[in-house]
Amino acid sequence: MENFDLGNLERKNIYKVPENLFESIQENVLGGVKDFDLEKLERKNIYKVPENMFETIQDRVLSGVQSFDLDKLERKNIYKIPEGVFETVQENVLNEIKAEKKAPIFKLNWGYAIAASVALIFGVTFVYNSNSPVNGDSVNRYANNREVPKKESQIAYETLASDLTSVENANQTVESQMNIKPVVSQVVNNNSENQNKKSVKAANDVHMNEYLETLTNSEIAELANNSSQDVYLDLYN
């Protein structure tokens, strides 16, 4: 190699060159853009597909909605039910029924209702009068009315009147008895010349007391029960 002369060395490329390199470069540069042919493009899907997608779809279709059978569905009540609903309903129904049972007492015709209203006014007047000095007489008159025979219509009217005002009267008689006695005894003591007249009053008073004593407990209870009538009559007035 002493005689090596670079000048004499053959100038050559020793690297491998891909076949048709220049053709393909030229083609790429010139034809790639110009001659793009959609028809020659490979048809391919480039989107990702979830795994087992088709199996899932098939499962859904077959086992799901398509096989829904109303007859196979369990028949159940799905609504929330309030606590104690049946107890409340039963209680309300029974209360309503009991109220209705009492109702016929109040199903008076209007004639009776009007008569009862009048009687009630009498009753109220009676209460006011009971505070006046003649109150003893009122009680006596009441007691007398019960004893003296009357026409049937009068008795009917007065019975109704007395029934409807019985509670006021009952309360009142207790009260008035307490009041009357001193009044009467006072009168007896102070007005000796009128003693006869007053003693008649006292006698009437005794009648009243006797009358009240003749009432049994059950009769008094009945009178007390009738007191509820006044409430309803007030409503209709």
Partner 1 sequence: MKIKDAEIIALMQDPRTLEKGIRVLMDAYQSRLYWHIRRIIVDADLAQDTLQETFIKAYQNFHQFKNDSQLYTWLYRIATNEALQQINKLKKMQKTDEDPEYYMQNLVADNTEGDAEEIQIFLQKAIQSLPEKQKLVFMMRYYDDLPYEEISQIVDMSVGTLKTNYHYAKQKIEEYIKENYER
The piece of 4-12, 93-101, 197-205, 208-216 that touches partner 1 (CB under 8 A) is 93-101
The DSSP output letter for 19 is T
* Nearest residue to 143 via CA among 172, 115, 109: 172
Tell me the C-alpha distance between 8 and 10, whole Å: 6
Instruction: Candidates 52, 58, 88, 131: give the one binding partner 1 (CB under 8 A).
Output: 88
Give 44 or 80: the residue with its C-beta nearer to partner 1. Answer: 80
Instruction: Candidates 50, 82, 104, 182: give the one binding partner 1 (CB under 8 A).
Output: 82
Tell me the C-alpha distance between 136 and 143, whole Å: 11
Instruction: Candidates 24, 28, 90, 132: give the one binding partner 1 (CB under 8 A).
Output: 90
Q: Rule CB under 8 A: is residue 93 a binding residue for partner 1?
A: yes
Q: Rule CB under 8 A: is residue 222 a binding residue for partner 1?
A: no
CA distances from 133 to 71, 139, 204, 206 (A): 88, 11, 16, 18
Tell me the C-alpha distance between 237 and 226, whole Å: 17
**Binding residue count for partner 1, defined by CB under 8 A:** 27
Tokens matching residue 74: 């369990």
Give 91 or 234: the residue with its C-beta nearer to partner 1. Answer: 91
The gap from C-alpha 5 to its chain's centroid, in whole angstroms, comes to 123
The piece of 80-88, 109-117, 143-151, 200-208 that touches partner 1 (CB under 8 A) is 80-88
Question: Given the rule CB under 8 A, which residues bind partner 1?
Answer: 60, 64-66, 68, 70, 73-82, 85-86, 88-90, 92-94, 96-97, 100
